[in-house]
Structure 1
Amino acid sequence: MAVVGVLIGLAVLGAVVGFHRYAWCRLVRDTTAGPGPARRAGTVVFVAGPLLMCAALVSGRAGAPFPLQRVLAWPGYLWLALSLYLLLALLAAELPRPLARRWAERPRPEGVRDLGEEDVRGPVGGADGPDLAERDVPGRSEQVASRRLFVSRVVGGAVAAAAVGTVGHGMYGVLRGPGVKRVTVPLAKLPRAAHGFRIAVVSDIHLGPILGRDFTRRVVDTVNATQPDLIAVVGDLVDGSVEDLGPAAAPLAGLRARHGTYFVTGNHEYFSGADQWVDHVRELGLRPLRNARTELPWFDLAGVDDVAGESEGEGPDFARALGDRDRARASVLLAHQPVVIHDAVEYGVDLQLSGHTHGGQLWPGNHVADLANPTLAGLERYGDTQLYVSRGAGAWGPPVRVGAPSDITVVELASRHA
């Protein structure tokens, strides 16, 4: 098993190095006429970027001092997102490259100068050098080299602008805070008196080296503005210890709902000290549901620990949370990961509220997340059980979302007897 892990690690490292070499060739070497300040600066960027990215990824797991994690997180994680969209844009730019090459090599009337043409002498940094036929014509090599340099700069500039613009827009979407999404869910067993009962679903805030106290305050203000009857925090609240992130989580004490705020663990709590966080959120006024159930006047509300807890002898225990309940009553289950939906169906749950997927967070990651989860985002039915999956309020790693906007969902329960 250890050998397999090493081989996978080497494969990932090779892919990272290969991509950055490719990107450097297209965006630095091919857009500069030779060694000089511009090429040196570009080389520094393509060496420092992946190093910072790796340092940011490793520092949290390695238990580095939190101030150091914060210093590394911003440039490292942003480079992770930027490198993804640089790769996608560069691959897309390969499609018209043969046409651009043909344009660069076409003859032109003598004395006519192309737009952007420079007086390029000698070999150019591009990967494609002049062929033998070009060298046989006086001045032909310099003309082709000048055109190729011009095309490389135009394409490289477009690629960089597309990647930076995408990441910038996605970062703004995260940092401004989640929007509010409203969903009506009819429950056959819900009594008429509970018609219109509102549950604010908050998942995947991911407080850490980047998202801190100010972000928590925005989330709390947004939730309270919906005036919910109940608040459900369904896991992945933090990426770090209580010692480091306690101040960032403090505004959660300001959550207000008529029937209280409930919390279940996510997989990232188990990376961060789940027991300590459960105790801490209880001090902040949240009520943890650890494989437990509370009977509200109109329906049962249950919660299970995340499946990541199985490695620590914990994890979801449906029999404990739901085994002895009256199935004639409506039931709502809080469970971080959608994958436990089949257990929820078996125990007769009417509605499961989950998060975890982030809706993919960074397109085209949604296609991968969709394969790993029964529902990527939104409301779906599994037999007599409905599953609602929130895209989450924050972001893991890069504070960037593309194609998967963050949300706080207000689920309004509807009685069929109303």
Structure 2
Amino acid sequence: MLHIKIPFAFFAALIATAAVLIFGLIKNRNFEIREYDVKIEKPIAFPVKIVAASDFHLGYGSSRRKIENIVSAINAETPDAILIVGDLIDDNTEVLRHRNISEILKRLNAPMGVFAVFGNHEYIAGAKKSEEFYKASNIKLLKGEVAILENGLQIAGLDDFSNKKSKRENDIVKQLKPELPSLLLDHRPHNLQDKANLGFDIQISGHSHNGQMFPLNMITKFLFELDCGYKKINSCHSFVSSGISLWGPPFRIGTKNEMLVLNISNK
């Protein structure tokens, strides 16, 4: 009878791999709240608290319980406004409609409104159907448009670059009142310096997932001027979120899910 001796190192590697994947799976079930006090130079009528989250990637892998937990956590911050920075949808709106996910998202509560921009995955899912889902969820979609909050803060939303005909930052800045502060939502963190040069006071992006898993975060650091976190560029406060959830394999290894809480006021 043939006996095959399997090296101990193989079992050790197998156990270590399983442990890392289990750890990554657990990490994906949770998210951190990153809070920032943002002091802007242009006058604002009164301070505002904003919750910003990107990359929900709602789809087949998103349980109702997980979505309900995210909505509850956002509401628990009692934000004045909520900003969704693209890729709310993963790649299919039918499963969301079938599971009535819009009814959960309708619970998002912010007196100044819930605003969003498209990411690239909304176009993968189909722009028209994605737009219908946002509308059914009572989320105001900004596609090259500007919304002005009660305190004068302008929320400018860029459509994702998947739409080659979309208005870009050079176009949208023409809609702004230069004396009022402005916040730019753009799913992809490209050309941050150029956008800061246009005079935006705050810009928020997502998309990178901070690489999602080590060592991919080393690649995103190479690809983007800022792949995750905060950087002040000129007088513009620039944020890139690693996302509140994931795309593809449900593992966070060496990175974290997060949502941003921005307390915006004058200096």
Q: Same fold (TM over 0.5)?
A: yes
Specify the code of the residue in structure 2 equivalent to 1:159: A
Q: Does residue 1:306 correspond to 2:160, yes or no?
A: yes
Distance 1:394 1:248, change over 3 A: farther
Distance 1:268 1:340, change over 3 A: farther
Residue identity over aligned pairs, in percent, reads 27
SS in 2 for 1:201: strand
Distance 1:346 1:275, change over 3 A: farther
Taking the aligned partners of 2:34 and 2:59, their CA distance within structure 1 comes to 25
Taking the aligned partners of 1:190 and 1:181, their CA distance within structure 2 comes to 25
Per residue, is there more strand in 1 or in 2? 2
Deviations 1:8-49 (A, max 9, x none): xxxxxxxxxxxxxxxxxxxxxxxx943xxxxxxxxxxxxxxx
Q: Which residue of 51, 56, 61 corresponds with 1:200?
A: 51
Structure 1 unpaired stretches of 5+? 1-31, 35-148
Q: Does residue 1:156 correspond to 2:10, yes or no?
A: yes
Runs of 4+ in 1 over 3 A off after TM superposition: none
- Corresponding residue number in structure 2 for 1:380: 231
Larger radius of gyration between Structure 1 and Structure 2 = 1
- Corresponding residue number in structure 2 for 1:287: 140
Aligned positions of 1:101-120 closer than 5 A: none
Q: Does residue 1:353 correspond to 2:204, yes or no?
A: yes
SS in 2 for 1:258: coil
Taking the aligned partners of 1:165 and 1:194, their CA distance within structure 2 comes to 49
Specify the code of the residue in structure 2 equivalent to 1:179: E
Q: Does residue 1:183 correspond to 2:36, yes or no?
A: yes
Q: Which residue of 296, 301, 317 corresponds with 2:168?
A: 317
Taking the aligned partners of 2:210 and 2:52, their CA distance within structure 1 comes to 15
Taking the aligned partners of 1:320 and 1:212, their CA distance within structure 2 comes to 39
Taking the aligned partners of 1:400 and 1:274, their CA distance within structure 2 comes to 28
Distance 1:413 1:154, change over 3 A: same
Per residue, is there more helix in 1 or in 2? 1
Taking the aligned partners of 2:147 and 2:258, their CA distance within structure 1 comes to 26
How far did residue 359 of structure 1 move? 1.3
Distance 1:249 1:317, change over 3 A: farther
How far did residue 347 of structure 1 move? 2.3
SS in 1 for 2:42: coil
Structure with more relative contact order (C-alpha pairs < 8 Å, separation 6 or more):
2
Q: Does residue 1:414 correspond to 2:265, yes or no?
A: yes
Aligned positions of 1:10-409 closer than 5 A: 33-34=3-4, 149=5, 153-175=7-29, 177-191=30-44, 193-195=45-47, 197-246=48-97, 247=99, 249-250=101-102, 251-296=104-149, 297-310=151-164, 313-314=165-166, 316-409=167-260
Taking the aligned partners of 1:182 and 1:212, their CA distance within structure 2 comes to 26
How far did residue 248 of structure 1 move? 5.9
Q: Is the 8 A contact 2:146 2:175 kept in 1?
A: no
Deviations 1:41-97 (A, max 9, x none): xxxxxxxxxxxxxxxxxxxxxxxxxxxxxxxxxxxxxxxxxxxxxxxxxxxxxxxxx
SS in 2 for 1:301: strand
- Corresponding residue number in structure 2 for 1:132: none
Q: State the Cα RMSD in Å.
A: 1.8
Specify the code of the residue in structure 2 equivalent to 1:300: Q
Taking the aligned partners of 1:201 and 1:324, their CA distance within structure 2 comes to 23
Specify the code of the residue in structure 2 equivalent to 1:240: D
Structure 2 unpaired stretches of 5+? none
TM-score by length of 1: 0.60
Distance 1:265 1:288, change over 3 A: same
Taking the aligned partners of 1:355 and 1:363, their CA distance within structure 2 comes to 18
Aligned length: 263
